Amino acid sequence: MTVGEDIKEALEDIGPTIIIIRDSGNIDEDEYVDYDTNSQVTKPFIREFFLEAMVSYDTDLIPGDVFEIGIIDERYLLMNKTPVIIEGAVAYYDSVFYKCNVSGELLRPSETRSSQTYQKASIFSGERPVAYGLLTEPLFSGDLETEEQLGLIGIHKEELYIPSSYGIQVLDRYQPVSGEYYVVESIKPRRFSGVDVAILGEDNR
């Protein structure tokens, strides 16, 4: 038996099961994880929403996947997984999970013109009825460098960490709860593989 297989068996003994949530349906492969908060973090938000975890060498999880940890009935976003090599093979993956605190609706705008006033107006169609993500104030700084980028951001701004597979675009509308609307003002490129970071502002369209 390999080291990876030994660790996988240990995870089955100590870890809760997860269910991967994908468009093709839930995937339940009896996967197990072992997770913990970062003991060196003092910020309550980080303790609440970030987990460090170990997943098996043959996991089906890929960065950008949303999954449910059944024992705590919460959904998380896999931000990354780093292989740990032992005896020349992957023994397990060190991973980081972000807790999904929203499951809002993603809407895409198009323009229409009134037949009476000839004025343009935006109409929104449902791009995705359930879009899981982490909606938060900016977690990092220093990514906005140009005046043009700064001009796009209002006083009230949020960051949305969301799977790249959802295909979120600039000018999309995100509705985390009924009656609350955000516009996607920009998307930070190349920060995470499989995860988009969208900058949101209040949407008054």
Can you give the pLDDT at residue 152? 41
Quick: pLDDT tens for 192-203: 999 999 999 999
Can you give the pLDDT at residue 175? 96
DSSP letter assigned to residue 23: T
Which structural domains are found in the chain, ordered by start?
3-99 (2.40.10), 102-202 (2.40.10.270)
Cα separation, 181 vs 202, in Å, equals 6
Among candidate residues 113, 134, 111, the one with its CA nearest the CA of residue 124: 111
Cα separation, 11 vs 112, in Å, equals 55
Cα separation, 29 vs 17, in Å, equals 9
Can you give the pLDDT at residue 148? 41
Low-confidence ranges of the chain (pLDDT < 50): 142-155
DSSP letter assigned to residue 145: -
